[in-house]
Structure 1
Amino acid sequence: MRKGLIALMGGMMMTGCVTAEDGEPMAVPVCPTETRGWEAWVNAMPGPDATPTLIVVGEALLPEKATATLAAGPTDRMMPPGQRVSLSVEPSDQAAGWQPLRLEIKPALPEYSSVIVGCGGNAIATISPVVTAQ
């Protein structure tokens, strides 16, 4: 599997204010400090009940008490299309460090030109090419 092109945020961390359970405000970043290891591929392997699936994986560096998730965004109208993915950060009880991320989109299209991971209104990674495993 070939690695995609990786774009990093350059150490910038935006924060928002969230109220903790004890009523004290705590800063939760809007986006991770850094991301790495982005890959995307379409799993089109045959088999019983097999459904083509776009799989997107990467890692996000997060501070204490934060967790990140990936969500499917819109698919553009290019040929082949590009898929947008949204990374969001929410309060949690996790320790600081690198958190693995994974998103599966079913059913996937047969082919994608790229996957663009965005956070806070900015593209933080562009994964291209997106290979198809058959």
Structure 2
Amino acid sequence: MFALSGCAQQASSPGADAPSGEEPAMPDNGDCPVIDSRDWKAWVNAMPGPGAETTLIVEGAVDMPTPGYTFSWEAGMADRSAVPAQRLHLTATAPDGMVTQVITTENVRYEGPAIAKEYRAAAVMCGDELLAEITDVVTAE
């Protein structure tokens, strides 16, 4: 009886069908390699001074599958409200060559021209995934 118990069908987990020696497939989230993110905050720097420009700043921490990723940002659409919500797109580019397969936390920061002194929200997108929607956007004057 004990010999047959090993033949029982087991539920498979994601990646369980990967041939030996191959990494299980990562979930498809629109070409975004971010595993997790946290500690998002956003603020508007409207401090006066010579040559000062009102700037939107967004910061957070992202967990990546390997070290060595580089990041770029693009400001997306903002609604036309008097107090707008801004969409930002984070693009992560994998390192070239072989790298250690270890989850690495990276701090990311967007800094760009603000279209308003106050924002209702800032949304951080990566691929098709919404990483964060920050609704507490403060203004430093």
Tell me whether the two structures share a fold, i.e. TM-score over 0.5.
yes
Query: Equivalent of 2:72, from 49, 66, 69?
Result: 69
Give the Cα–Cα distance (whole angstroms) in 2 for the partners of residues 39 and 55 of structure 1.
8
The answer for the alignment partner of 2:33 in structure 1 is 31
Q: Which amino acid aligns with 1:106?
A: P
Query: Equivalent of 1:50, from 42, 49, 52?
Result: 52
Displacement, 1:107? 4.3
> Unaligned regions of 5+ residues in structure 2, if any?
1-25
Larger Cα-atom Rg = 2
Is residue 13–residue 33 contact of structure 1 (8 Å, CA) maintained in 2? no
Give the Cα–Cα distance (whole angstroms) in 1 for the partners of residues 51 and 126 of structure 2.
34
The answer for the alignment partner of 1:123 in structure 2 is 130
Q: CA RMSD in A?
A: 2.3
Give the Cα–Cα distance (whole angstroms) in 2 for the partners of residues 108 and 15 of structure 1.
29
TM-score with structure 1 setting the length: 0.72
Is residue 32–residue 128 contact of structure 2 (8 Å, CA) maintained in 1? no
TM-score with structure 2 setting the length: 0.68
> Unaligned regions of 5+ residues in structure 1, if any?
1-11, 17-28
- SS of 2:111's equivalent in the other structure is strand
Displacement, 1:13? 4.4
- List structure 1 runs of 4+ shifted beyond 4 angstroms: 93-96
* Percent identity for Structure 1 against Structure 2: 39
Give the Cα–Cα distance (whole angstroms) in 2 for the partners of residues 78 and 106 of structure 1.
17
Is residue 83–residue 116 contact of structure 2 (8 Å, CA) maintained in 1? no
